Amino acid sequence: MRTRLETLAGCFLSLLLAVETRPAAAGATFLIFPLENLSSAPALGWLGEGLAFSIARGLRIPGVEVIDYDDRLRFTEAADLPPNAPLSRASMIRIAQHASVGRLVMGSYSGTAENLQITIRVLEMKPLKLEGRITANGPLSALPQLENELSWNILAHSGLSGSYSREEFRARTRVIPNLALSHYVRSLDVEDQEEQGRLLLKAVELHDDFPEALIRLGRRSIREGNCAKAISYLESARKNQRADLETEFMLGNCYLRQNALNQATHCFSDLASAAPSVESFNNLAVAHLRNGEFSLAEQNLLAARNLSAIDPTVALNLSILRHLQNDDRSAQEVIEEALRLNPSHGILYLMLGLVLNSQEQRERAHAALERARGLGADPEKLLAEDPKKLTRIFSTWDRTR
């Protein structure tokens, strides 16, 4: 149900569309919303998100980016709107503006399993120009072909079909069965974690080459603390296609936790090259450091520090590296600088105690270790560890940085 405010905003959009006279430059980033269900068949309810999923897949060709499901939810929440709820056109525009995309895709479907009618509209965001209707009709059994036709027409009408011929683009038609896709889509909106897992497993049982379902199963395994199972799912997900950056990050972390340092290094090296970040450089450095490759660890920790000089995790790891290089004076400087900005970081005080003790500054070392204890660290237990094991990694990757 639209609110009065959204209805007024929709009217305002119509006015903008009516007076728009100058087209803006084409954008190559799409945001696709679930299609509105105008059918009377409850069994077709999954199609709204299913069509958005498959059309997004179809549009992902070189030079074209599509906001994925999780980012769409994040942008929706950032716009103070409920995720997975029906949205008015005005709300969709608000989210698309927040996401800074070039085109917004929306639409609806109606009819029955024997005769579906699907309608797509594309809104160019800079001029707020609403393109004409793109339609496809046919039975549910032909849904993959209908999705392919819709994706092709969206790209062709937007001038973004690239070097693909229509015949070549047909080869991209979805091979995941409708039933497997329906299980996957239903898992997205289920709060019960056990039921969510059951639906994802069913989707993979029906079609084992289902990267999106495998990645979600990998995430679940990580949350459950089972990195061995997560690696199995995530490696399967990237078996027949290049892994996305977040999958590489999750795999790298799992390999680190399994002490498979060469595999972790490979994942984080690819990630740091494709998307330089504090997280990728830091975690790559930790893999090198734990493998005894101090020069490579230093190179990547300094790169991480250049991106975020105040991050306590990077400072901690750099201080551990300096200590292992027998440069405790430099380690002390790194820690003291970090503590000025992070005065409640127990492990930093622990490291300060360690490097002060190595310099025979006993009283100051004792005070630092007592401060670490007061902040929840266990000096006796932690100092008995190999210093390499005190290094810390980022468990999540902030793609918004």
Question: 165 and 67, same structural domain?
Answer: yes
Q: How many domains does the chain fold into?
A: 3
Cα gap 236→209, rounded to integer Å: 8
In a domain? residue 247: no
In a domain? residue 314: yes
**Which residues form the domain of 203?**
179-241
Cα gap 94→131, rounded to integer Å: 18
Residue 377 token pair? 């660290």
Question: 23 and 157, same structural domain?
Answer: yes
CATH for 49:
3.40.50.10070
Helix axes 47-59, 143-157, angle to 10 degrees: 50
Cα gap 370→203, rounded to integer Å: 53
pTM of the model: 0.85
The string over 239-265, giving b where at least 16 C-beta atoms fall within 10 Å of a residue's C-beta and e elsewhere, is eeeebbebbbbbbbbbbbbeebbebbb
* Vertex 54: Cα angle to 50 and 56 (nearest 5): 115
pLDDT in tens, 292-349: 999 999 999 999 999 998 899 999 999 999 999 999 999 999 999 999 999 999 999 9
pLDDT in tens, 90-101: 999 999 999 999
In a domain? residue 397: no
Examine the fold and report which residue of 172, 189, 204 is the final residue of a domain before the chain moves on: 172
In a domain? residue 143: yes
Question: 48 and 116, same structural domain?
Answer: yes
Question: Is residue 249's pLDDT more than 70?
Answer: yes
Cα gap 10→232, rounded to integer Å: 47
Integer-rounded Cα Rg, in Å, for the chain is 26
In a domain? residue 256: no
Backbone CA torsion sign across 87, 91, 92, 98? negative
Cα gap 220→214, rounded to integer Å: 10
Average pLDDT over residues 191-212: 96
CATH for 315:
1.25.40.10
Cα gap 139→286, rounded to integer Å: 53
In a domain? residue 86: yes
If one compares 11 and 261, the residue with the highest pLDDT of the two is 261
Cα gap 374→359, rounded to integer Å: 23
